[in-house]
Amino acid sequence: MILSDFQIAQLIEQGMVENHLPELINPASLDLRLGNTIMIESAASHDMIPVDISKSSRDQPYELVPGQFILADTMESFNMPEDIAGLFFLKSSRAREGYENLHAGYADPGWHGSTLTLELKNSRQLQRLPIWPGLKIGQMVFFKMSAIPATSYAVVGHYNGHLSPTASHVPK
């Protein structure tokens, strides 16, 4: 079952989402904003390099070049209840502008103490795309589980307690 606006608001009051704004609650989702840090590729290393974009703004944005892939974080951080899951979707207006989300934004029940890491790409071929902290990039849809899982992500998860974009923990 997808949760409605008042159910999302109640869960936020109970601590499910921190650093949110009430006006970001939609009828069946919560808008999410880009945070202050992105991670970019470097020709010198296989590892993604953190970049602080906190001084970027709508008037002076950081620009993604055509085809560029980044990891980014959200301003909002999450403490998912044991019976609630979430799925991230790019805002349709962002998709129409050429932003692409690689559909890995899933919030398991029990995931906690973390901002959401987004896998974003500029799909445009000729134009740069602007980003800045606070840009409404997507929305989280929340689902009520039919039962509390036997194993919580709070116990088995690899991405709990991360407050900045997090690269893959899978060994190379």
Which tokens sit at 25?
């609650």
The catalytic residues are: 119
Per-residue b or e along 108-139, where b marks 16 or more CB atoms closer than 10 Å to that residue's CB: bbbbbebbbbbbbbbebeeeebbbbbebebbb
Do the strands 69-79 and 45-52 form a parallel or antiparallel pair, or are they unpaired?
A: unpaired
Asked if residue 120 lies in contact with residue 100, where contact means CB atoms within 8 angstroms, the answer is yes
Give the span between the Cα atoms of 151 and 161, in whole angstroms.
18
